[in-house]
Amino acid sequence: MFYLRLFLVLLIIPLKVSGQNNLVQRHQERASNYFKISKYDSSAYHYEEAISLCRSCPDSLKASLNLSLYKTYKYNERFEDAYVQLTKAEIHSKKAKSDEHLALTYIAFAEHFRSNRKYEKADVYLDKAKQIIAGGKVSDATLGNYYNRKAAVLSEGHFDNEGAIQHSLKNIEIAKKLNAKKLEAVSLNEIGFAYEKMNQFVKSISYYKRAIEIWDNLDEEGASLANSLGNLVRVYIKDNQYNQALKYNTMGYELAKQKKFSYWVAVFTYQQYQIFRHQNKLKQSLETLEKYVVLNDDYSNKQWANAIAKAENEYEAKQKDNQIKLNQLELKNRELQLKKNRQNRIYLILAILFVSGLLFVILIYSIRTKINNRKLNVLLKENQFLLGESNHRIKNNLQLIIALVHQEMEKQKVDLEQSSLFEIVEKIEAVSALHKQLYTNDSKQLIRIDSYINQIKDNFDKFFQKRDIQMDFDIDPLEISINKSLYLGILCTELLLNSLKHAFKDGKPVQKITLTLKAVNGEVSFKYSDSGPGLSSPHTKLKLIHLMSQQMKFNYEIKEGDHFLFIADLTGKL
């Protein structure tokens, strides 16, 4: 029994879907037939029915139906409803990923804004359509449609009549290739309008007549034929051909009355008034003008009545929906309030328990933190004391080593300044000065480089004063790490030893050493010079100086000249 039911369900569902598709197709065909004979109300009804039945249809078909209903609403002067259909067509085209339908939708948007004289917005949508067309996934008919609407915007919005003619001719070429008479007629009409604006009335009349001939033979586009007739009459009036104007105006008026085009009835009545006025038929012109005023009022009243009726229907529907929603909301609010009250009680109990637990945890954590902080403070003070004592003892030990070396040099009775032991002593002095700074500093990680280098300078004072050598040090008060301070101290010591040994042998009248360490705008520069002779070659490397530069990872330069000059860029290296 179960399998029998399943079989019947599987059999019925496809039949039901197939039946719905047939109904959609039937309504679509009837809508198209009614549109061809200008019965736009009936056409709109069948398109609306097709859309309502098309819930499970492909999005591409939905987009196609929306575009068809848009066109029907437009011809029936239901412009707001037409715009709504365009927005729906855009949504379904994107869902279907159909470049063809999306391009047609954007072209229709452009036409909507063009007819409302919003040419900038029309340009935006034409550009969107152009981008899709550039992908090459649209039909020639859509491309022709694009050329045609682009021509209209160029002519009306940008006064580019030549551009409008060029685009229209491209469309005509496509239309002839496809044997698409409607497409050809629309572009003939656009070319006629362009020549009209250029005051080339003979050409304008020729193109309008060709468009009228096509529309008349098609016998299905009453609104398009009325439009072309209205354009032709307008040109005849401009060209002072009033008899021809009256002839075609009468044709247009009869067509508009037959098709019940209230807008075009008013237009042809007004053009008839213009013809009579130019012919100095005052009585007939006044009678026609009065008739036009009545028609125009009727048209405006009709539009106003339609708008009011639509607004009233929408208001009533919204009122009913709002009342239903209000009743539903009241019931939901009552249920939610009861549920919320129960939840609030539970949340309150949980919150009290949570806060109590949290306070207990915080209290325990606070007590433990205080105990740990006390222990850490004791350890920190002990470490600081031990570190200070270590630096003090290292300094004392280094001073002891220095004293022993001095004692040994005195026993050997060697020239102190030329002895290799002297160089070692001065380098040990540099290290000792660093530990002295660490011992006296509050910070055990950073050294004031100006104090440190000046202390190294003081170690050399007695030797340079004996030789009458001036020392000019200009050092900014920078704080740098211990390791970098040590390398820089040894570098300065080596430079001073180098000057002491090699710079002042010839007894120059001015004997001077200059050292600067400056920080300006984030850039740190180091310069050292003496007044002695420079190196024999700027490429000569002083081994220890080169080693210190590698340790500190900075670039340096020794200038060639009549004195020694050492330059280093320490930016980002300290």
Q: Is the pLDDT of residue 158 over 50?
A: yes
> Does the model's pTM come out above 0.75?
no
Long-range contacts of 451-457 (CB under 8 A, 24+ apart): 452/485, 452/489, 453/488, 453/489, 453/492, 453/515, 453/517, 456/429, 456/430, 456/489, 456/492, 456/493, 456/496, 457/496, 457/515
Q: Is the pLDDT of residue 267 over 70?
A: yes
Question: Using 50, 70 and 90 to split pLDDT, how confident is the model at 10?
Answer: very low
Q: Is the pLDDT of residue 250 over 90?
A: yes
Beta-carbon-side half-sphere exposure of residue 95 (alpha carbons within 13 Å): 14
- Looking at residue 7, its pLDDT comes to 46
Q: Give the model confidence (pLDDT) of 339-371 as tens digits.
A: 888 888 898 898 898 998 888 899 888 888 888
Euclidean distance between CA atoms 503 and 540, whole angstroms: 16
CATH number at residue 466: 3.30.565.10
Question: Using 50, 70 and 90 to split pLDDT, how confident is the model at 15?
Answer: very low
Long-range contacts of 198-203 (CB under 8 A, 24+ apart): 198/161, 199/238, 201/235, 201/238, 201/239
Domain assignment present for 554: yes
User: Cα–Cα distances in Å, from 207 out to 203, 252, 253, 492?
Assistant: 6, 17, 21, 97
Q: How many CB atoms are closer than 10 A to CB 123?
A: 18
Q: Is the pLDDT of residue 195 over 70?
A: yes
Domain that holds residue 522: 447-569
Instruction: Specify the range with the lowest mean pLDDT, choosing from 201-215, 257-271, 537-551.
Output: 537-551
Q: Is the pLDDT of residue 534 over 80?
A: no
Query: Higher confidence at residue 213 or residue 401?
Result: 213
Question: Using 50, 70 and 90 to split pLDDT, how confident is the model at 200?
Answer: very high
Domain assignment present for 479: yes
What mean pLDDT is predicted for residues 540-545?
A: 73
Question: Using 50, 70 and 90 to split pLDDT, how confident is the model at 11?
Answer: very low
Residues listed for the chain: 574
Domain assignment present for 425: no
- Looking at residue 12, its pLDDT comes to 45
Domain assignment present for 510: yes
Domain assignment present for 546: yes
Long-range contacts of 417-420 (CB under 8 A, 24+ apart): 417/463, 417/500, 417/501, 418/501
Q: DSSP characters for 304-356?
A: HHHHHHHHHHHHHHHHHHHHHHHHHHHHHHHHHHHHHHHHHHHHHHHHHHHHH
Question: Using 50, 70 and 90 to split pLDDT, how confident is the model at 310?
Answer: low
Q: Give the model confidence (pLDDT) of 90-102 as tens digits.
A: 999 898 888 888 8
Q: Give the model confidence (pLDDT) of 472-500 as tens digits.
A: 999 999 988 888 888 899 899 989 888 88
Q: What is the DSSP letter of 567?
A: E
Domain assignment present for 234: no
User: What is the count of structural domains for the chain?
Assistant: 1
Domain assignment present for 507: yes
Angle at which helices 140-157 and 99-115 cross, to 10°? 20
- Looking at residue 306, its pLDDT comes to 56
What mean pLDDT is predicted for residues 500-515?
A: 79
Q: Is the pLDDT of residue 308 over 50?
A: no
Instruction: Specify the range with the lowest mean pLDDT, choosing from 308-317, 455-464, 494-503.
Output: 308-317
- Looking at residue 550, its pLDDT comes to 87
Domain assignment present for 266: no
* 3-class SS of residue 229: helix
Residue 514, classified by CB atoms within 10 Å of its CB into exposed (0-12), middle (13-18) or buried (19+), is middle
